A and B are shown apart, each in its own frame.
Chain A
Amino acid sequence: MTAAPGTAPEADPKATPEAATAPVRDSPERPARRRGPARQALVLLVPGLLALLLTYALPLVWVVRMSLNESGEGGLIRQTVSLATFGEVLGSSHYGNVIRQTVELGVLVTFFTLVVSYPVALFLARTTSRWRGLLMALAIAPLLISSVARTFGWMAILGRQGVVNKTLDGLGLIDAPLHLANNLTGVVIASTEIYMPFAILAMISGFGRLDPALEHAAASLGAPRRTVFRRIVLPLTLPGVLTAGLLVFVLSLSGYVTPRLIGGGRVFVLATEIYDEAITSLDWPVAAVLSMLLLALFGVVIAVYLWAQRALEARFTGAQEARS
């Protein structure tokens, strides 16, 4: 960014206060000054845009290009432009299963995460206890530990010789160990706990419209507690739940560590499959096609989210206008 002679007056910080207080004398300077803020904003955006271009846009273009190649014998990549690899992947029952299981895992994890996080978030959003700050910190404290470490923790809990099986066995409640790890069940359980802090945070920030006076008003009008929840609390917290749902679903679609470690090689999802194809089989075109499919899945999820959000917002029409 070399300063061209024409831009120098704006760049000079001393020129600004003078221009702000004294009336502008020479008119030629005026139009240049008016463009100033926009140009400055552009300059400020450049580093971020460059970083995005280098780390996101270019690799993405490269992945798109790779997905149009074909894989030859012995890990060779045949440079071409065709949809053959797409056809191969979409036609195979194996990859079909992978996509189905990815979505299934996402749906299950999202459902359970929302169900267990909602009461916690609702409590934290409504409590007036002086411990609120501490409880809030506790709820999101798991984020301080790497999800790899937490996944290993779940392996120790859910495994054949894990805490759960040992306890149940010790109590004589089971004859054979329960299959809690190395399958979808284990991945769902561990993922649910791992995504809870995200869900709780997203919900609390989305519960803004919840005002205790609304619940009091509903009660004073004759609504028992359950009706207050159904008619007032639930509809008003739904936008927060929706946002949390989007976040968890997207996180779980792209989740790699937990399915890999707890799945024990028996849970195949897009993220693990992409890794295997790219690193183990060195079949980059297939890995690229799977990446594109994952991206398409995100697109669908976000489209559904936006549609649902708009449907919800339609019930608050005007609420948006009033706030903006």
Chain B
Amino acid sequence: MADTPVSEGHLVLEALAKTYPGKDGAAVRGVDLTVERGRMLAVLGPSGCGKSTTLRMIAGLVEPTAGRIRVDGRDLTDVPVHRRDMGVVFQSYALFPHLDVARNVAFGLEMRGTPKAELRRRVDEALDLVRLGHLAGRRIAQLSGGQQQRVALARALVVKPAVLLLDEPLSNLDAQLRSAMRDEIVRIQRETGVTTVFVTHDQQEALSMADGVAVMNQGRIEQTGTPEDIYERPERPFVARFVGRANLLDGTVSGVEADTVAVALPGLGTVRAAGGPVTAGAATTVMLRPHRIALTGAAPGSGAVRGTVLSAGYAGETVAYRVRVGDAGPVLDVERPTGAHASYGPGAEVELSWDPDAPRLVAAEEGTE
């Protein structure tokens, strides 16, 4: 691994690991990641999965126990924080309370000994980029959360960092501001073209903002891919469950064809699912997204999958049903849009159906869980 020649990616992590002394288990257990120049990668995972530690290792704030960090092929693993040239936006923004907006933004340029005239020009540019030019003289405590977030972005970007690192950038904002800032961060990233890594536990954020998503769990990367890959083609049950809602059904591979696999699911019969590769007879798991399942009133005698509604939860745009298949089959989550479809109350007999491409194979999880 260490002998890999100059890699394609702009930012490359190789088997990055961190073990904290006195704690059992590693926080990060060998992360390999490549981010291409100008791309935005989201590291998505539950709290405690090691995503923040990974980000801090890239920033140089946490020393890795093992592995390498490269930018443009240059090994930065042993370069101290202040010479790493990373722009970091902290979860709490970490703006300097004793400096005004302009001086917060100027800090990094001052550290680089930028001449005064250029410094002023670049601070203005950075503040214009985040649309805060009119607040240059404000004190930090006079700013709203969203404005502080923009100052933090301007401060990190003004030095033209090699990589921009964002730690849970939207978690301190309220819901409305969050979606506005989401678009704003994407716009700023596009405009500057800076290679960006951000860490989040919010799948919506990761899917809607990033070019690529790395799903992390228990210190490892479970899957890396485009947002669509992650959502439509999860390779592991954890990814299917963490990104969006999913029905996961354990079964046995009964037949393998060109593009589909037949899986025998107890209580549901044989279901054709895409994905693989698997061999006949192997244990596997099939994923069915709740919104891909359609419900219709039960027609006597049809060969479709039948079930009984256990509960129906109205949620505005959708109704979330729990449906038991057959008499003692699995219970499936089903999500139907309200309005256009008939609704069913608990106890209603229904038929379940789905498009042939809805079921996906997710390889059986290794190890525990």
Binding site for B on A (CB under 8 A): 209, 211, 213-214, 216-225, 227, 231-232, 235-236, 315-319, 321-323
Contact = CB atoms under 8 A, between A and B. Distances in A.
B177 interface: no
Nearest to A227: B111
Nearest to A212: B94
Given A317-B139, A322-B141, A222 B94 contact: no
Interface in B37-92: 59-61, 81-88, 90-92
A317 B142 CA distance: 8
B159 A218 contact: no
A220 B86 contact: yes
29 contacts: A209-B97, A213-B90, A214-B94, A214-B97, A216-B61, A216-B90, A217-B90, A218-B107, A220-B60, A220-B81, A220-B84, A220-B86, A221-B107, A221-B108, A221-B111, A221-B155, A221-B159, A222-B85, A222-B108, A222-B111, A222-B112, A223-B82, A223-B111, A231-B107, A232-B96, A236-B98, A318-B142, A321-B142, A323-B141
Contacts of B111: 221-223, 227
Nearest to B152: A217
Contacts of A235: 98
B98 A213 contact: no
B98 A219 contact: no
B61 A219 contact: yes
A283 to B, nearest CB: 51
Interface in B233-287: none
A160 B282 CA distance: 90
A222 B82 contact: yes
A227 B85 CA distance: 16
B86 to A, nearest CB: 6
Given A213-B92, A235-B98, A316-B98, A219 B140 contact: no
A279 B88 CA distance: 67
Contacts of B94: 211, 213-214, 216-217
A214 B85 CA distance: 17
Contacts of B92: 211, 213
A209 B97 CA distance: 8
Contacts of A227: 111
Contacts of A321: 141-142
A317 B141 CA distance: 8
Given A221-B111, A322-B141, A214 B88 contact: no
Nearest to B165: A220
A220 B97 contact: no
A121 to B, nearest CB: 19
Contacts of A319: 97, 139-141
A220 B141 contact: no
Contacts of B90: 213, 216-217
A79 B86 CA distance: 78
A274 B159 CA distance: 63
A222 B140 CA distance: 21
A189 to B, nearest CB: 35
A322 B147 CA distance: 15
Contacts, number: 84
A322 B145 CA distance: 12
Contacts of B83: 222
Contacts of A218: 96, 107
Interface in B112-159: 112, 138-142, 155-156, 159
Contacts of B96: 214, 217-218, 232
Contacts of B84: 220
B187 to A, nearest CB: 23
A168 to B, nearest CB: 42
Contacts of A219: 60-61, 81-82
Contacts of B142: 317-318, 321-322
A211 B107 CA distance: 17
Given A214-B94, A217-B90, A220-B87, 8 more contacts: A209-B97, A213-B94, A217-B94, A217-B95, A219-B81, A220-B60, A321-B141, A321-B142
Nearest to A215: B94
Contacts of A317: 139, 142
Nearest 9 pairs of A and B residues by beta carbon: A222-B111, A221-B108, A213-B94, A318-B139, A322-B141, A217-B94, A318-B141, A318-B142, A220-B88
Contacts of A214: 94, 96-97
B135 to A, nearest CB: 12
A222 B94 CA distance: 15
Given A216-B88, A221-B111, A316 B141 contact: yes
A236 B156 CA distance: 21
B59 A220 contact: yes
Contacts of A223: 82, 107, 111
A222 B139 contact: no
Given A220-B82, A322-B141, A236 B97 contact: yes
A177 B9 CA distance: 71
Nearest to B108: A221
Nearest to A312: B98
A216 B88 CA distance: 9
Nearest to A219: B81
A207 to B, nearest CB: 13
A211 B90 CA distance: 12
A289 B4 CA distance: 85
Given A316-B141, A317-B139, A217 B88 contact: yes
A148 to B, nearest CB: 42
A281 B198 CA distance: 77
A232 B111 CA distance: 13
Contacts of B82: 219-225
Contacts of B107: 218, 221, 223, 231
A209 B60 CA distance: 24
A74 to B, nearest CB: 62
A192 B302 CA distance: 93
Interface in B153-173: 155-156, 159
Interface-centre pick from B87, B98, B112, B155 (highest chain A CB count, 10 A): B98
Nearest to B87: A220
Given A213-B90, A216-B61, A216-B81, A222 B159 contact: yes
Contacts of B60: 219-220
A220 B84 CA distance: 7
